[in-house]
Amino acid sequence: MSGVHIYNYGGFALPYDVNEPRPSDLNEIAVRIDDKNGNGVMDANDRIVFYGKGVGGWKFNESVGVYNWDYYGHPVDKASTSQVLHRMMYPYDDTNYYLFTYNDQPGKRIQVIPSPQLPNPDLPSTFTDFYHFEEDHYNILASGTDWYWERMSGARESKTIAFSLPQNLANGKTKLLFRFKGGSGSFYGDNEPYQYFFKGVINDQVVFDTYPNAPLSSNNSTSKIVTKDELFAVKGGSNELKIDYTGNLDGCEAFLDYFEVILQRPFIAENNFLHFRKLIGNNVPVEYHAIKDITKIEEIENHPNLRDPSRKAEYLIITTDEFYDAAEFLEHLRETQVPNPLETERVRLSDVFLEFSSSVRDVTALRDFLKYAFENWSDTLKYVLLLGDGHYDYRRIQLTEFPNFVPPFEIFNKGEVDSREADNFYVDFGFDGYLNSIKPWVPMGRLPVNSLDEIETYKNKLLAYSTSFLIDPDKNEWQMHVTLVSDDQNGSAGSNKELSWHLKPTEEIDRNYIPKKFNRRKIYLHDYEQVAGGLGRWKPKATEDLVNQINRGTLLISYFGHGNPETWAHESVINRTRDLPKIHNVGRWPLWVAATCTWGKFDDATRLSMSEELLWLHDIGGISVLSASRPVFVYSNTVLAKNFYKHLFHIGQGNLPSRRLGDALFLAMQTSTNYQKYHLYGDPTMRLADPEYIVKVESVEPDTLKALSTVTITAVITDAQGNIRDNFNGYAVVHAFDAVDSMYTNISNINLHYVYPGGTIFKGLVSVTNGELHSKFIVPKSIKYKNDRTGRLSIYAWSEQTDAGGYVDTLLFNGSQEGGNDRNGPEIQVAFKDVPDFFDGDFVGSQPTLMLELNDESGINLTGEVGHRI
């Protein structure tokens, strides 16, 4: 049995700070093997003895004499506590794992040390013992790592807790510690002057009372410490703690976190067992033994050795055992994509935990693994995807029915704004322990899927998206359209200034950060009529227009304004449950970018966010989402959005196809807590479906486009260097727009100028042959007749292999041309949705949908003016 080995990582949380020491590999634990008959075989009466412990526990810092770790085992100011020993909880797991293996190499064994013969041995009569009492039941914000025991609310409430101590106690110094947390005022905007008072009674003896001079306020925390030189209040055996709570407002809510008892005990065994601790020095060796009662043994397959430096990956997909096989499609897709294939590898999260935290689900192990791969694998790591949903309840205290496939990185703070989830921690390979300064070293994304069906849905979308120019049956040239949505001035702050918070950055992004080649569609809520609804104010026409834009197809949707996980704006311009059933954008999936609060809060499993569902919806929804998981602020949102679009579209660097989404967000990221809350939901290595090549418009004649005049257009397909793609054969949609509408508004003495795009003048399909196209159309009478060169021509072309796009935005639609009197009306073909080959006299359903096909040599007026609303 000499080849028996046992390994473990120690049972305390791994340090966040990459500079703090940690095991470089699994630590081997020394064991003692009791081979009763000496036959070298593990028989029924033989045993393996080793020192084992659970996760967490009391910790002592010998180098400085005081504890310098926080409650969960992460570094804090050394002066923050004077207690030599401190109890640490483990935030990520309740179970410690010891790994057994057997091979032909001798294992580490406990060495026998002769008992030292000391002339004057220390023979104390008592020792100090430490007792920590805590249960975790409540997470106030559904966020962060903090949990609380007892909840007290309203004006008055009492809680009684029974606890036990050993029967034999010694009279000596006693310390009682009680920790409380205010709950009210934790959510943004709740600024009431909450105050709480507590009285602690143990065994009918009052040990502290904070009334009236020491209230706890709002969402703060406090500790009440009582120290006596003699045994005080507590007794051996059964005890009872009563907490009397008083709040100054009916809306008050407060929590007991935990309490501790530190007292003196004699060296008297109870039930033939004596557990004691003695803080010693002078290099006195101490031997610890414990017998591990193994109640659950799991066989571990040969692990993949993630520390092998010969491994290589530019793109790592971190997922669970359940999703590992299903993720193979993405590995294959990225390794075979042309151009720019990526060396891609899938890694099971269980293997990460096995090798970097001895199977304990410590999320810092994931960061440590990614850092190791970045620094030691043979390829340079460039992208990371977390494939699987996750939530804040690491130990499944409340969310027992919801798997935590790929846990998020939760950050504790007392308020809703700063208690957050920050996946970027996993790719901050230089993190120094300051949670406000997290910054990624490589791009990353998350696909918050919960089932194989959801992976299959996203797989089908992603595979189809790469050739989207071939699957759009309506040829809506959606790849050339972006949709900009802006909230109005009616917000929670009650200030008209809010309009400038939303409209101004939207217009700045329109002018300076989105390429001119894209056609704009704008939905600005302040220009829509407000009506009363069942749940308050509503702007139904804005909702209708947005849903129609989505269904027609748009490459990108950008939103600035208020929001929550299920809706945008107080007027609910789009709502998850109400509006997603109305969306029918098969094959035309946009990137959604939402500069708003909590629309991407994926880590609360009890409340589905719209950002998540857009990815899962079968054949409809979105291809990727950039949104925030917590409350965020306007200025930082604006900076992030501008930088994201700047890098996504290579602003200032020429007419180039868009960057990979992960690269654009990575380049836009800065070190602030606001940025930590934003996440890319989707594949970070994907690119938008904007055209690969350029349509160069060579001529538009005549110079002034008059009503009833014939316009002639010539264009060619080129690459970024201007070389004509003479092997490009296919089709193109030619789309002409009237002059723009310049708008002005003054809100609270703030002058705002914004622009609405002109209406459609012409839209038609033409052929592309050997990289050239020609088109003609007749200008309708229903133009604006503005002496303003802001008319626009947009062309989208596609072949069986690729696509191209181009524009001219200096057209002048003005004046009229004599003649052109067309008296022949269009040909009209009548059909019904359920009877496409309708003939006069055929039966139709009780609620038929009429469909008309119009054909006219001079074209059909699409301007939308009175009499021409088609």
Residues 482, 13: Cα–Cα separation, whole Å:
46
User: Which band of pLDDT confidence, cut at 50, 70 and 90, is reported for residue 867?
Assistant: low
More confident call, 199 vs 530? 199
Decide if 627 contacts 596 (C-beta within 8 A). Answer: yes
Residue 865 has pLDDT above 70, yes or no: no
Query: In 617-668, where does DSSP find H-type helix?
Result: 634-648, 661-668
| Cβ atoms within 10 Å of 374's Cβ, excluding its own | 17
- Residues in a beta bridge with 175: 227, 262
Largest CA distance in the chain: 124
Residue 57 has pLDDT above 70, yes or no: yes
Mean pLDDT of 312-326: 98
- Global pTM reads 0.90
Per-residue pLDDT tens digits for 831-848: 877 777 777 777 777 778
Model pLDDT, residue 489: 75
User: Which band of pLDDT confidence, cut at 50, 70 and 90, is reported for residue 524?
Assistant: very high
Decide if 54 contacts 37 (C-beta within 8 A). Answer: no
Per-residue pLDDT tens digits for 561-581: 999 999 999 999 999 999 999
Q: How far is CA 100 from the centre of its chain?
A: 37
User: Which band of pLDDT confidence, cut at 50, 70 and 90, is reported for residue 301?
Assistant: low
Model pLDDT, residue 85: 67
Model pLDDT, residue 746: 78
Q: Domain map of the chain by residue range?
A: 126-266, 315-437, 471-681, 693-816, 824-870
Per-residue pLDDT tens digits for 349-361: 999 999 999 999 9
Model pLDDT, residue 275: 81
**Phi, psi dihedrals of residue 864, rounded to the nearest 5°:** 80, 5
Classify domain 693-816 by CATH number. Answer: 2.60.40.10
**Phi, psi dihedrals of residue 107, rounded to the nearest 5°:** -85, 170
> 126-266 and 471-681: same fold?
no
User: Which band of pLDDT confidence, cut at 50, 70 and 90, is reported for residue 61?
Assistant: low
Residue 201 has pLDDT above 80, yes or no: yes
Please report the DSSP string for 260-326 in residue order. EEEEEEES--BTTB--------TT-----------------PPP--TT-TT---SEEEEE-TTTTTT
Residues 464, 482: Cα–Cα separation, whole Å:
20
- Indicate the range of 138-142, 291-295, 803-807 predicted with least confidence: 291-295
Per-residue pLDDT tens digits for 766-806: 999 999 999 999 999 989 999 999 999 999 999 999 999 99
> Helix and strand tally (H, E) in the chain?
11, 46
Per-residue pLDDT tens digits for 71-100: 444 444 333 344 566 777 889 999 998 988
Residues 541, 194: Cα–Cα separation, whole Å:
42
Mean pLDDT of the chain: 89
Model pLDDT, residue 470: 76
Residue 494 has pLDDT above 80, yes or no: no
User: Which band of pLDDT confidence, cut at 50, 70 and 90, is reported for residue 272?
Assistant: confident
Residues 793, 737: Cα–Cα separation, whole Å:
6
Amino acid, single-letter form, for residue 786: K
Residue 802 token pair: 């690729």
Which CATH architecture describes the domain 315-437?
A: 3-Layer(aba) Sandwich (3.40)
- Indicate the range of 45-49, 192-196, 241-245, 262-266 predicted with least confidence: 45-49
Was domain 126-266 assigned CATH 2.40.360? Answer: no
Helix (H, G, I), strand (E, B) or coil at 341: coil
Decide if 429 contacts 642 (C-beta within 8 A). Answer: no
Per-residue pLDDT tens digits for 388-446: 999 999 999 999 999 999 999 999 999 999 999 999 999 999 999 899 999 999 999 99
User: Which band of pLDDT confidence, cut at 50, 70 and 90, is reported for residue 532?
Assistant: confident
- Residues in a beta bridge with 624: 591
Per-residue pLDDT tens digits for 334-344: 999 988 999 99
User: Which band of pLDDT confidence, cut at 50, 70 and 90, is reported for residue 23?
Assistant: confident
Model pLDDT, residue 670: 86
**Phi, psi dihedrals of residue 387, rounded to the nearest 5°:** -100, 95
Was domain 471-681 assigned CATH 3.40.50.1460? Answer: yes
Model pLDDT, residue 528: 94
Mean pLDDT of 299-305: 68
